[in-house]
Amino acid sequence: MAPRASTCALLGALLLGAATARAGTGEMVACHVTYGGETKIVEAGPSDSPYTVAPIKFGSYLQFRIVFLREPADLASIKLYTHAQHDDIDGRPLIHQATYAYPPVPAGRYGFSGLNHVYEPRYGLVLDYWCELREGISK
């Protein structure tokens, strides 16, 4: 039995509504970063230019950066970087880097990244983080 025209129209409207609703949202990487006993959620949307993504400072000596690439498909990934900040060294030495395929696979309680502990060797600082992929409103 063939579907009636009104049923097809209703189904088409529902599919169009779902696609339109999806177009208004965007994915965000949300990292729960704990430093000095305080937890801060750092979010980043997809970037077209990974080298322009600014790091977030934690204390005087640590910087955390999220690089979220969805395109091109062969380079789609989420990369997390932690750098030390020392006045007597040019640049920012990389002390931790993690790469996750996109879309990431949730690992349970601590999102897709699991719980990570990053140690800064000079001053003995510790930065803990875990990250998840969230749906957010695109701006």
Q: Tell me, what's the pLDDT at 112?
A: 98
123: left (phi over 0), alpha (psi -120 to 50) or beta: alpha
What are 26-43's pLDDT values in tens digits? 999 999 999 999 999 999
Q: Are residues 67 and 47 in contact, defined by beta-carbon separation less than 8 angstroms?
A: yes
Q: Tell me, what's the pLDDT at 29?
A: 98
Q: What is the pTM of this model?
A: 0.78
Strands, sheet with 125-137, edge to edge from the N-terminal-most edge strand:
38-44, 25-35, 125-137, 116-120
Q: Where are the domains of the chain?
A: 26-137
Sign (positive/negative) of CA torsion 59, 91, 93, 105?
positive
User: Residue 67 to residues 60, 106, 114, 125: CA-CA distances in angstroms?
Assistant: 22, 18, 17, 23
